[in-house]
Amino acid sequence: MQRRDFLSSALALAAASTLPAARADVVSGGQPWEPGKASVPPLAAPRQGGLAFFTQAELDMAGALADRLIPADDLSIGGKEAGCAVFIDRQLAGDYGKGATLYRLGRFVKGTPEQGTQSPFTPAERWRKGLAAIDAYCGRAYSKPFVQLDASQQDDLLHAMENGTLDLGREVETKELFEQILANVREGFFADPLYGGNKNMASWKMIGFPGARYDFRDLIGKKGQKLQIIPTSLVDNTL
Amino acid sequence: MAHARPKADVVVIGLGWSGSVIAEELARAGLKVVAIERGAWRDTASDFPPSVDTDELRWATRKEILQPPKLETYTFRNNASQQALPVREWSNLTLGYNVGGAGTHWAAASWRFNPFDFQPYSKTIERYGKGQLVPGLQVQDWGITYDELEPFYDRFERIAGTSGQAGVVNGDIIPGGNPFEGSRSRGYPTPPLVPSRWNDIFTEKTTEMGYHPFPVPAGTISRAYVNALGVHMGPCTYCGYCQLFGCGNWSKSSPNACVVPALMRQPTFEVMTETEVLHINKSADGKTATGVSFIGKDGVVGEQPADIVIVAAYQLDNVRLMLLSGIGQPYDPRTKQGVIGRNYSFQTLSYAYLWFENEYLNPFINTGCLAIQIDDFNADNFDHTGLGFIGGAGIQSLSNNGLPIGMAGVLPKQAPAWGKGWKKAFQHSYQNWAMIQGQGTSYAHEAMYFDLDPTYKDNYGRPLMRMTFDYNLNDKRSGEFIRKQCEAIAHAVGGTQVESYNFANDHYTPFRANDSSHTIGGVVMGTDPKTSALNRYQQSWDVHNVFVLGASSFPNNGGFNPTVTLGALALWTAKAIREQYLHNPGPLVQA
Ligand SMILES: Cc1cc2nc3c(=O)[nH]c(=O)nc-3n(C[C@H](O)[C@H](O)[C@H](O)COP(=O)(O)OP(=O)(O)OC[C@H]3O[C@@H](n4cnc5c(N)ncnc54)[C@H](O)[C@@H]3O)c2cc1C
Ligand code: SF4
């Protein structure tokens, strides 16, 4: 078998990617399973303290946005306290932020709504440009940055973004930006605390989701009943 | 630079469901089989143990084991007058990209098609006449009947360990099963799953309405089972991390759990992982294939010579590889000549979403396919006279989703998407939302097809495939008919808020939430080389040592998920190769 020379030559035609790579190999004569090997998620450093992508001002702004999208009330803590901004910071530093899975070859032409986004920017670039554009707008309209607006002004601005009525300049698709911010904030609120958000599994307790539990054979018979399961998470990496 | 490997008897492109079952059949028959798989090796013990699997963000949101658009995507437009643009982000076609293919992360609804689905043309003409077909619809028979495929369905179920309740065995109707199904030679290998609360509500009301509910056959198996290849499977735990996830319990029917362990024991089999086939090579006279060219992830290009080439790279890549390799005449929608890229169909979905007031549906207790279905409006199970369409849908109460990121947007239309109002609405909706899905048939139309994109390229500078697709009049009418049935059931079960949708009422988009991933056709089997690329054995009419497996072979889609049918067809083709082709290599059917 010539697997060694097949594998050792390195003419890198394939575009470099940070996507997870397992064994490139010729496998035969049994399953190449090795004890003690587990496929753990790639996590952006730092996991405890410090910023991975955002500046402090951007982090504060992401936290303020998260607190309007998911405000504190008697159902749960707010998005900021839950760690949504920290979660987003780490996500944007990693493969997600870099757009590692996106098709990013040109030409970039605006299409029909059915054809989906044709943005040339990565999610990290969209956040950075988007936050700057929102703050520039707040500077013009209120002579203040977003974080210093009161809650109802912040809500008005978010409504205008959601409806696509706010013009954030040539480089920012307002509605797409709003949808991305909302999606990432929700992810931070609901993903396993492993990723830095969902502090104390607050969101799971709010809706009654049991989290990282893998066996319900003992409960499937209890149909239509409130189950009161105490949730479990994988690892807690919240600050 | 091209590195030539030793010649194999058979090269298999792609090691998903189709590729793994045929590789196992042919390696067991003693042939030297080399599979080439673009994705990585994945197995239960390292990649999907319960301590790794219970992670919605990683697997369902970021889709870590799926094939990323960066690696290969397709361009899309609704009709030929538009410019097609690339699908840049994750779309609803969540393709497989590892040993096991999409069979690792599928939902495992394990259906046989209805007998009508194999002969839609002749059966429609016989019952209604040609006038039933809307203009431009490309409806044709498959060249194989349900009865011919039955033994292979049976074998596939014994490999997959399918759980279910038979409805018709040797012509006898069995209570509790699907009375409309094609007759089976015996029951399922394992009994049905325990239904969810939502499943029970649906069963009760649809029975009262005079319909015939039955459990959806499931590859999330109900109890421990040793399959036909001697592989052990464990019982499903209703963990709810199923569709888009691997299974940590060896409970989900998948190539990884059911086939690969047996296949890897075959001494004449090997698989090259993280290696992509670029194209199929042909002999100088173009009448046979000589093997395939591939590229490793390190960029090294190589050649794998083989006597038989099995194309099993999923529907989309099957079509693209045929176009890139110049096998079969590409379809031209203006002249309606040509076969590669012809007969593209999809899955016409209709839904009713409903909300109860004070339920505890406990949606986190589920499997990818925990459902009760009625087939009263599927296939030709009801009289279509005067309706202006053919086909229909399986209508099911599906309990397949309780994960919070995904469900956070599933709220009544008037509910806010954020803020305190959203929190309150979501807290209520999480336990009270249910869906009725009409999974509809789809028939090809002469204006909808695949070809190579003139503008956009892959990472190697080769054209992407271009999809030109929108719903046709038959889809719109059948989708509307099914939407009304779903809506009526949603009211009957006591939904206090009901929203219903016929997806075919809007233009198709690859980005619609809860849409299907089932792309069908493009290299179809049939009886006439003018309208099909393959004969009834899935053998190329033009290049006789090329066999193409997958849903690309289906001239139309049934009102079911496609996989058990394509698995049965892979076994059918394996038998034809073993028992006929090896003795006398050449066309198995004369054109
Ligand atoms: C989320 C989801 C849920 C689904 N649920 C169901 C369900 O409930 N029931 C059902 O019946 N069906 C379901 N399906 C569909 C089902 O997964 C497919 O029908 C089935 O996996 C197709 O099998 P296949 O062998 O044709 O292709 P795949 O399983 O996709 O395998 C193809 C393989 O080929 C590889 N490949 C592609 N191109 C190349 C190349 N050029 N060189 C080398 N390798 C290549 C790919 O990496 C892949 O591993 C679902 C699909 C998805 C995405
Ligand atoms: S629901 Fe069942 S089959 Fe699906 S992943 Fe969980 S244990 Fe496996």
Using CB atoms, pick whichever of B41, B296, B362 lies closest to residue A6: B296
Q: Does the pLDDT of residue A20 top 60, yes or no?
A: no
Q: Does the pLDDT of residue B139 top 90, yes or no?
A: yes
Q: What share of chain A is helix, strand, coil (3-state, %, to 5)?
A: 40, 5, 55
* pLDDT at residue A7 in the model: 29
C-beta B242 within 6 A of ligand 2: yes
Closest-CA distance of chain B to residue A124, Å: 15
Bridge partners (DSSP) listed for residue B291: B281, B305
C-beta B401 within 6 A of ligand 2: no
C-beta B402 within 6 A of ligand 2: no
Coil, strand, or helix at residue B50? helix
Distance CA B413, CA B416 (A): 8
pLDDT tens column, B300-329: 899 999 999 999 999 999 999 999 999 999
Q: B507: buried, middle or exposed (CB in 10 Å: 19+, 13-18, 0-12)?
A: middle
CATH number (domain holding residue B142): 3.50.50.60
Ligand (nearest to CA of B194): 2
**What size, in residues, is chain A?**
239
B84 inside domain: no
* pLDDT at residue B3 in the model: 81
pTM of the model: 0.96
Q: Does the pLDDT of residue A8 top 80, yes or no?
A: no
Name the pLDDT band for A10 (thresholds 50, 70, 90).
Answer: very low
Burial readout B297-321 (b: 16 or more C-beta within 10 A, e: otherwise):
bbebbbbbbbbbbbbbbbbbbbbbb
Side-chain half-sphere exposure of B307, counting CA atoms within 13 A: 12
Task: Give the position of tokens 């690892």.
Answer: A235
What is the number of structural domains in chain B? 1
* pLDDT at residue A235 in the model: 86
Which of B42, B237, B365 has the most ligand 2 atoms within 8 A of CB, as the residue to mutate? B237
A9-18, A65-74, B4-13, B501-510: segment of lowest average pLDDT: A9-18
Using CB atoms, pick whichever of A13, A76, A118 lies closest to residue B85: A118
CA of B323 to the centre of ligand 1 (A): 19
- Residue B22 tokens, joined: 């045929």
Residues of B belonging to the active site: 518
B85 inside domain: no
Which of B247, B253, B366, B399 has the most ligand 2 atoms within 8 A of CB, as the residue to mutate? B247
Q: How far is Cα of residue A155 from the mean position of the Cα atoms in its chain?
A: 22
Using CB atoms, pick whichever of B88, B267, B409 lies closest to residue A102: B88
pLDDT tens column, A171-213: 999 999 999 999 999 999 999 999 999 999 999 999 999 999 9
Whether the CB-CB separation of B353 and B500 falls below 8 Å is answered with yes
Side-chain half-sphere exposure of A29, counting CA atoms within 13 A: 3
Closest-CA distance of chain B to residue A3, Å: 9
Q: Does the pLDDT of residue A5 top 90, yes or no?
A: no
Residue contacts between A and B (CB atoms, under 8 Å): 278
* pLDDT at residue B569 in the model: 99
Q: Does the pLDDT of residue A1 top 90, yes or no?
A: no
Q: Does the pLDDT of residue B198 top 50, yes or no?
A: yes
Give me the mean pLDDT over the B529-538 stretch: 98
Q: How far is Cα of residue A4 from the mean position of the Cα atoms in its chain?
A: 39
Name the pLDDT band for B2 (thresholds 50, 70, 90).
Answer: low
Provide the 8-state DSSP code for A83: T
Which of B239, B244, B253 has the most ligand 2 atoms within 8 A of CB, as the residue to mutate? B239
What is the side-by-side strand order in the sheet with B449-457?
Answer: B85-86, B74-77, B463-468, B449-457
Taking CA atoms, what residue in B is nearest to A34? B46
Whether the CB-CB separation of B108 and B253 falls below 8 Å is answered with yes
Bridge partners (DSSP) listed for residue B366: B239
Contacting residues of B for A221, CB less than 8 Å apart: 194
pLDDT tens column, B246-301: 999 999 999 999 999 999 999 999 999 999 999 999 999 999 999 999 999 888 89
Q: Does the pLDDT of residue B564 top 80, yes or no?
A: yes
Taking CA atoms, what residue in A is nearest to B294? A6
CB neighbours of residue A21 within 10 Å: 10
B414 inside domain: yes
B588 inside domain: no
- Residue B232 tokens, joined: 């052990």
Distance CA B422, CA B436 (A): 23
Give me the mean pLDDT over the B234-239 stretch: 98
* pLDDT at residue B552 in the model: 98
Q: Tell me phi and psi for residue A121, to 5 degrees.
A: -95, 155
Q: Does the pLDDT of residue A2 top 60, yes or no?
A: no
Distance CA B542, CA B555 (A): 18
Cβ separation of A7 and B298 shorter than 8 Å? yes
Whether the CB-CB separation of A90 and A52 falls below 8 Å is answered with yes
When the pLDDT of each residue in chain B is averaged and rounded to a whole number, the result is 97
Percent of chain A with pLDDT over 90: 77
Containing domain of residue B431, as a range?
3-76+92-581
CA of B240 to the centre of ligand 2 (A): 7
Whether the CB-CB separation of A188 and A82 falls below 8 Å is answered with yes
* Ligand 2 atom nearest to CA at B219: 3
Percent of chain B with pLDDT over 90: 98
pLDDT tens column, B364-419: 999 999 999 999 999 999 999 999 999 999 999 999 999 999 999 999 999 999 99
Cβ separation of B85 and A40 shorter than 8 Å? no
CA of B564 to the centre of ligand 1 (A): 12
* Ligand 2 atom nearest to CA at A215: 7
A33-47, A133-147, B155-169, B273-287: segment of lowest average pLDDT: A33-47
Task: Give the position of tokens 């030709």.
Answer: B380
CB neighbours of residue A197 within 10 Å: 32
Q: Does the pLDDT of residue B473 top 50, yes or no?
A: yes
* Ligand 2 atom nearest to CA at B245: 5
Q: B158: buried, middle or exposed (CB in 10 Å: 19+, 13-18, 0-12)?
A: middle
CA of B252 to the centre of ligand 2 (A): 6
- Residue A78 tokens, joined: 């707010």
Distance CA B57, CA A186 (A): 11
pLDDT tens column, B110-125: 999 999 999 999 999 9
B83 inside domain: no
B86 inside domain: no
A11-25, B362-376, B390-404, B420-434: segment of lowest average pLDDT: A11-25
Taking CA atoms, what residue in A is nearest to B44? A33
Q: Which of B354, B346, B345, B344 is nearest to B501 (CA)?
A: B354
B254 inside domain: yes
Cβ separation of B426 and A207 shorter than 8 Å? yes
Contacting residues of A for B460, CB less than 8 Å apart: 13
Distance CA B500, CA B516 (A): 16
Using CB atoms, pick whichever of B40, B87, B267 lies closest to residue A116: B87
Q: Does the pLDDT of residue A19 top 90, yes or no?
A: no
B586 inside domain: no
Cβ separation of A68 and B272 shorter than 8 Å? no
CA of B553 to the centre of ligand 1 (A): 14
